[in-house]
A and B are shown apart, each in its own frame.
Chain A
């Protein structure tokens, strides 16, 4: 089942491979146009470069191009590939599942549609397609029902949807209807799958889809600003032992250096709801 190419049976609904390919190309264009409009509307690029210029004035040293390259590689291997910006390990894991699942799902959809449009027997790519969808579903539903800040911190019910949920809802609808259609193969499920896919890729301008392009750029910028001395005006990162030693207050100097104080909020999650 999960090694069968779901797109191979589309001829039954009168859908030709050419139509599917055109749909994929249309979705790619929708993402490009949506992202461009998003940038123009929010002026993200303007803010981004203005911030960099402002911070450059505070820099205490110039970064060499070797350093910049190494930071770029670190950004890719850390922030991009392992979602290291998340402090909450559950959110990080859910994000990794969604991200890698989405990449597998999109990549294998393109390969299945362009390389095996009428062949049911493409076990490797069909397996990746199902695996990707399942990974997005696990990470996505976990996020949707319990990790979403509106549910966890604001105490909203999960069904209280707002514009901010457009991306996650259309993403979950896409993989859920995709999996159900692959399982039961009805035309209604296929139609729902196509509609949710169109909403997912067609709503980039209104949703947070484009974060996958902005976030790596922002993470790279952050690394550079921390290294060039401007530090976005942040104080240096001190070591506890040094601070205790150098303090002019008896009270602080008397604190045993290895004394662990209570849990803080990152380890001791608040539970009000």
Chain B
């Protein structure tokens, strides 16, 4: 893992996204947004549906190409034009839609795009399944359906596969877009444990969730978006849940937070 690297540089941001904008047709899905993330830190991204959270992180993960703005990883300007680029910077993503190939089994999905191969260059399915059993055992010990296509799995099992894929390759930066949406309380608690563990390893995590309780429990800071713009960013210790709700609903930035371009003028 990269923990030594991360802790040695914990005063330096792992990721900075500066002045990011993207428009789809006439809609400014993300409008001059800036966020940053430090090693071993969890930043919660909050906002209503359609606020632009998923779009912002998809720019970081290489799924969308931004119209304006810069991305720095560990202080250096990063060239992220597609998902492959993002992965070379150690950015791994759990998408809200999970982004699984439903017709393939869990192992094939875990290793999609990064297959293990035998010395003849052919797919090493047995080795991949074996690795898959290990990582899935960590997340969901009762998971047994390794031969079935993932469309035969339950919502929670599919989500575990998507999470397993993100942690399998020693990410430095982890993006989790609504990672617990399909999970029951027990599995949600497991994911919370996992987040704390990854945090200890010095991984930086963007956590998007609709559940403000969850975010307050896990995040070191929260950033709130509204209509594509950043309302503000605050340490969770410096603001109350009510104040954050006010940011989400009305765009009001409280004292404890740094206001962004989306904050309403008072």
- Whether A associates with B in a native complex is no
- B interface list, Cβ under 8 A from A: none
